[in-house]
């Protein structure tokens, strides 16, 4: 059966904006996040404390968090504003700004681990270990991301056993949740079902898993529905389908939150999201980015 409720992990301000060619002013980012919260989203990934040269679009994390104080006060503990941190330097920066939830991000493939983190898979896990330990000790919630769970642009199809092995290693470090990323959007529902079955066979149930689909090949909603049918209840998406992927031609970014909410509304699955308010927010952001939202639902709701 399907769940009664899904928690949406909104990644537009982070995964979306990190891949847009236009760098958005920090005040606009803060307003974007406030509008997403007002539309009912309760987990909004806000920024990354990574090396500014690696992701210049998110180099203003230090400026952004103080601007989020009003929205953090308004919603209190109900609103989660996680940030990505790859290493202890990133964690120190996040702690200095009162961040209460962080995410480390590993890769199932060696090539992407090198390109994204300048480390092998094993070395990245070593880099994350003290981050997860110190963050947990400080009372923070830690999410683990795993990239390239289905296909890799350099290595091709990724073996299920490898994905499960690295994913379970991230959970073993102490991550409270593991988000399975289809970074380039090549995965299809049969692969999603096979991966979730293998996690379950190895003792990792859907209650600690989230799914993170990019919609490059138009598979994100079908993949999401498959994951829901296998017991997953946390879904990552980005408002308006923001973002792209530098490694895949004509990539269209993450699954659009509006497309997701339209499907979940239709299935009678509660998300707490006001779809009209969300679509209006994405249309407003599209104005700042100078291009229309690629989300079909946004276009249908705001044209
Ligand atoms: P490195 O060059 O190996 O770093 O990069 P290092 O440890 O050798 O340090 C070199 C210098 O960087 C030092 O400065 C450090 O202090 C500094 P120096 O002493 O030379 O002056 N430094 C930092 N500065 C600021 N903040 C930091 C930081 N760390 C070191 N946190 C590193 C290693 C991990 C830093 C780098 O590779 C990096 O920043 N990578 C981030 C890449 C990234 O953000 N990618 C996008 C997110 S992942 C994603 O989008 C996928 C996801 O959506 C899921 C999916 O779709 O699959 C999550
Ligand atoms: Mg992503």
Task: Give me ligand 1 centre to Cα 231, in Å.
Answer: 33
pLDDT tier for residue 245 given thresholds of 50, 70 and 90: low
Task: Give me ligand 2 centre to Cα 276, in Å.
Answer: 25
The Cα 31–Cα 19 span in angstroms is: 19
pTM above 0.95, yes or no: yes
Ligand 1 pocket test, pick from 15, 46, 50, 121 with the greatest ligand atom count within 8 Å of Cβ, gives 50
**Which residue's CA is the nearest one to ligand 1's atom 34?**
117
In this structure, what DSSP letter does residue 206 have?
A: G
Among 7-16, 154-163, 183-192, 240-249, name the one with the lowest average pLDDT: 240-249
Average pLDDT value for the chain = 96
User: Helix, strand, or coil here: 270?
Assistant: strand
Q: Average pLDDT of 258-279? A: 98
In this structure, what DSSP letter does residue 245 have?
A: -
> What residues does ligand 1 touch, defined as CB less than 6 Å away?
15, 18, 48-51, 54-55, 84, 86-87, 89-90, 93, 105, 116-118, 145, 147, 181, 183, 212
Here the tokens at position 24 are 């958005």
pLDDT at 285 over 90: yes
Among 14-23, 67-76, 189-198, name the one with the lowest average pLDDT: 14-23
Known catalytic membership, residue 149: no
The catalytically annotated residue of 135, 245, 255, 298 is 245
> What pLDDT does 250 receive?
58
pLDDT at 252 over 80: no
Task: Give me ligand 1 centre to Cα 45, in Å.
Answer: 17
> What pLDDT does 244 receive?
72
What's the complex ipTM? 0.98
The predicted-structure confidence for 118-173, as pLDDT tens digits, reads as follows: 999 999 999 999 999 999 999 999 999 999 999 999 999 999 999 999 999 999 99
Residue 143 and residue 175 in contact, taking contact as beta carbons nearer than 8 Å: yes
> What pLDDT does 21 receive?
85
Task: Give me ligand 1 centre to Cα 115, in Å.
Answer: 10
How many other CB atoms are there within 10 angstroms of residue 157's CB atom? Answer: 11
């Amino acid at each position: 059966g399907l769940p009664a409720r899904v928690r949406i992990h909104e990644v537009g301000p982070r995964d979306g904006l990190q891949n847009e060619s236009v760098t958005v002013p920090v005040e606009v980012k803060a307003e974007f996040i406030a509008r997403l919260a007002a539309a009912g989203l309760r987990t909004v990934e806000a920024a990354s404390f990574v090396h500014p040269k690696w992701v210049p679009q998110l180099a203003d994390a230090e400026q952004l968090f103080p601007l989020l104080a009003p929205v953090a006060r308004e919603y209190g503990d109900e609103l989660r504003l996680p940030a990505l941190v790859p290493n202890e330097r990133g964690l120190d920066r996040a702690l200095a700004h009162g961040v209460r939830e962080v995410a480390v991000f590993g890769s199932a493939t060696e090539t992407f681990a090198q390109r994204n983190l300048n480390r092998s898979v094993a070395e990245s896990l070593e880099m994350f270990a003290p981050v997860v330990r110190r963050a947990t000790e400080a009372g923070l919630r830690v999410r683990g991301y795993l990239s390239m769970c289905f296909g890799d642009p350099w290595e091709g199809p990724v073996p299920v056993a490898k994905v499960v092995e690295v994913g379970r290693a991230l959970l073993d470090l102490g991550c409270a949740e593991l988000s399975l990323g289809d970074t380039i959007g090549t995965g299809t529902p049969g692969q999603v079902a096979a991966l979730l079955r293998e996690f379950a066979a190895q003792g990792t149930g859907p209650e600690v898993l989230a799914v993170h689909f990019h919609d490059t090949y138009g598979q994100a909603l079908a993949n999401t529905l498959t994951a829901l049918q296998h017991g997953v209840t946390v879904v990552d998406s980005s408002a308006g389908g923001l973002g792209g992927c530098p490694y895949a031609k004509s990539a269209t970014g993450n699954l659009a939150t509006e497309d997701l909410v339209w499907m979940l509304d239709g299935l009678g699955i509660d998300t707490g999201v006001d779809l009209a308010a969300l679509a209006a927010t994405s249309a407003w952001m599209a104005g700042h980015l100078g291009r229309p939202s690629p989300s079909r639902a946004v276009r249908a709701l705001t044209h």
